[in-house]
């Protein structure tokens, strides 16, 4: 049996954190509304008010979906006065793409 060292424990914790981050990203992508939001944000950075015009859902539900995407690190936010603008976090999306095994890509 392999002896557990502090370096092994740190490595295991990092792997667990990375796996958790990837899993959270894919969980966030598992909803049709959130995929639609990402599709809109792929076109351009936009504010919540414009997203509300595009989706036939209650404002609190849109906020929920945006929070899930934000918590998963898939979108960035920037405040403009009382408005919040959203944009894609391209690096996080690319990390999810790279995490899919090659066999699944073919």
Sorting pLDDT into bands at 50, 70 and 90, what band is 4? Answer: very low
Q: pLDDT tens digits for 12-65?
A: 444 557 777 788 888 899 999 999 999 999 999 999 999 999 999 999 999 999
pLDDT above 60 for 99: yes
Q: Could you tell me the residue range of the domain that residue 80 belongs to?
A: 6-105
φ, ψ (nearest 5 deg) of residue 83? -95, 150
* Domains of the chain: total: 1
pLDDT on residue 17? 75
**Inside any domain, residue 1:** no
Question: pTM (2 decimals)?
Answer: 0.75
H-type helices in the chain, by residue range?
Answer: 6-28, 32-43, 48-54, 59-71, 90-99, 102-105
Bridge partners, 80 (sequence order): 83
Q: What is the CATH number of the domain that holds 100?
A: 1.10.10.10
Judge whether 55 lies within some domain. Answer: yes
């Amino acid at each position: 049996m392999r002896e557990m060292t502090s370096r092994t424990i740190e490595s295991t914790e990092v792997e667990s954190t990375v796996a958790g981050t990837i899993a959270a990203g894919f969980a966030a992508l598992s909803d049709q509304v959130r995929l639609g939001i990402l599709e809109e944000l792929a076109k351009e950075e936009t504010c919540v008010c414009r997203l509300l015009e595009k989706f036939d859902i209650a404002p609190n539900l849109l906020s929920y979906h945006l929070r899930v995407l934000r918590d998963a690190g898939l979108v960035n936010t920037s405040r403009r006065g009382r408005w919040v603008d959203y944009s894609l976090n391209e690096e996080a999306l690319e990390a999810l793409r790279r995490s899919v095994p090659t066999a699944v890509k073919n």
